Amino acid sequence: LTSLFKKERETYNKYWDDINPFVKFGCIKEKKFFEKVKDILIFKTTNNEYVTLKEYLEKNKEKHENKVFYVTDERQQAQYIKLFKEQGMEAVNLSTMIDSHFIQYLEMEEKDVKFLRIDSDISDSLKNTDDDKDDNAIKELSEGLEKIFKSSLSNENLKVQVEALKSESVPAMILLSEESRRMQEMARNYGGFNFGGMYENDETLVLNRNNSLIRSLISMKEKEDKKEDVQLICEHIYDLALMSHKNLEPDAMNKFIERSNLILSRLAGEREQ
């Protein structure tokens, strides 16, 4: 493997997709094997490049030092990948069954390195700075949006975070901390043990205050004839954010489809008028 990596890197890269689960298992199983191959472990990025851990960290240290962002499903997490690419950022693809164990093993061996799924945190590189903004106005806007969404979704326990993202096209995202996700995965692996429920429903709805639809909700909420529209928009934004994060439950998907049809019918009615 080492000889192939050094002399025929392109050929090594082609083989990697097939052999990497076995190499990773060997690393976890035998420390001596890990020591022999640690410098030739590679990762496929969202830019379809193959890099070592050292190469990835060096390439991205200006944007997120000692952090490795990863994806587990490129289709499901396409929105997050798009945000990263727009800012010249990349994640690595970790989609095999052994990867959740492997990254924990790597974190033990590489003490300063932290692996984060792409929807577990918002890198500062994705945010706009607010040096020229009024802090009180931002606080008032954030509190207003939080109240609107909690009320519209009938969920006072909903965790809401308002950010100014560089991309204005994304109204909202769902985040789940890396710690919570790993604990949930561990719970599933151990027969559904829920650790007292402390990691259930730990998702955070992130609203992008640079998005025109999100900003319009503030003015709409004051209009009596727009209350139903506000609720429909909030519910739809929330479901769209969820769909980029995970699959909707059957009941939620049915409601999403019904709401989509209702919104389209209203749009068609307005066009006819």
User: Cα-flanking dihedrals φ and ψ of residue 62, to 5°?
Assistant: -70, -30
**Could you tell me the CA-to-CA distances from 231 to 89, 133, 150, 243 in Å, in that order?**
35, 28, 10, 18
**Number of separate helices (H) and strands (E) present in the chain:** 11, 8
Q: State whether residue 140 is helix, strand or coil.
A: helix
Q: Which of 199-237 are b and which e, b meaning 16 or more Cβ less than 10 Å from the residue's Cβ?
A: beeebbbbbbbbbeebbebeebbeeeeeeeebbebbbbb
Question: In angstroms, how far is the first alpha carbon of the chain from the final one?
Answer: 69
pLDDT of residue 91: 96
Structure tokens given for 2: 């080492």
User: Quick check: 56 and 106 in contact, CB under 8 A?
Assistant: no
* Residue 95 one-letter amino acid: S
pLDDT tens for each residue of the chain, 273 residues long: 999 999 999 999 999 999 999 999 999 999 999 999 999 999 999 999 999 999 999 999 999 999 999 999 999 999 999 999 999 999 999 999 899 999 999 999 999 999 999 999 887 888 887 655 678 888 999 999 999 999 999 999 999 999 999 999 999 999 999 998 888 877 776 665 555 555 556 899 999 999 999 999 988 988 888 889 999 999 999 999 999 888 899 999 999 999 999 999 988 876 665
Spatial contact of 60 and 49, defined as CB atoms under 8 Å apart: no
Distances (CA, A) of 241 to 70, 79, 191: 19, 9, 29
The pLDDT value recorded for residue 192 is 55
| Phi, psi angle pair for 115, to nearest 5° | -95, 130
Rounded distance between C-alpha atoms, residue 24 and residue 102, angstroms: 6
Which pLDDT score is estimated for 116?
95
Give the span between the Cα atoms of 172 and 208, in whole angstroms: 6
